[in-house]
Amino acid sequence: MATTRPRGFIDNWEPKPETLDLIDNVKSVLDANHDILPLTLRQIFYMLVSGYRFDKTELAYKRLCENMNKARRAQMIDMDDIRDDGLRRRTPPRLGRRRPANQDVQIIRPHLQASPSGRPGTAHHGLV
């Protein structure tokens, strides 16, 4: 039988002093960035690394994730301040990944009109 992580809110969590320091630092990061909330845990992690001498290791990131899970469930950190929904920002097509060439042709083709001479685009501009 597989064990599962406890669900729901925690009423009796008593974090260690170093965990309380971490929670205070996360609260400071959230307060300083209130205008762009919610933040992801990865964003918070890098802000802690750059401004609070937090270790830049996978173990430290895992520790942050575990402690923020508990701190949110214990209502020490507002659930709405940390985004964990997997939301990704969409990159505009021209700035990010390149579309296949045939997709560009399909976009351009309807705008081209053949002129009486048979050359595309010249009739639209009155050129012959």
What is the pLDDT confidence band of residue 113, given thresholds at 50, 70 and 90? low
Domain containing residue 115: 99-128
Q: Is residue 1 part of a domain?
A: no
- Reduced to 3 states (helix: H, G, I; strand: E, B; else coil), residue 83 is strand
Q: Is residue 10 part of a domain?
A: no
Q: Of 33, 24, 18, which Cα lies nearest the Cα of 63?
A: 18
Same domain, 46 and 76: yes
Same domain, 23 and 71: yes
Q: pLDDT, tens digit, for every residue of 47-102?
A: 999 999 999 999 999 999 999 999 999 999 999 999 976 655 555 555 555 555 55
Q: How many domains does the chain have?
A: 2
DSSP 92-123: PTTTSSPPPHHHHHHHHGGG--B-TTS-BTTT
> How far apart are alpha carbons 26 and 47 in whole angstroms?
9
Long-range contacts (CB closer than 8 Å, 24 or more residues apart) made by 103-106: none
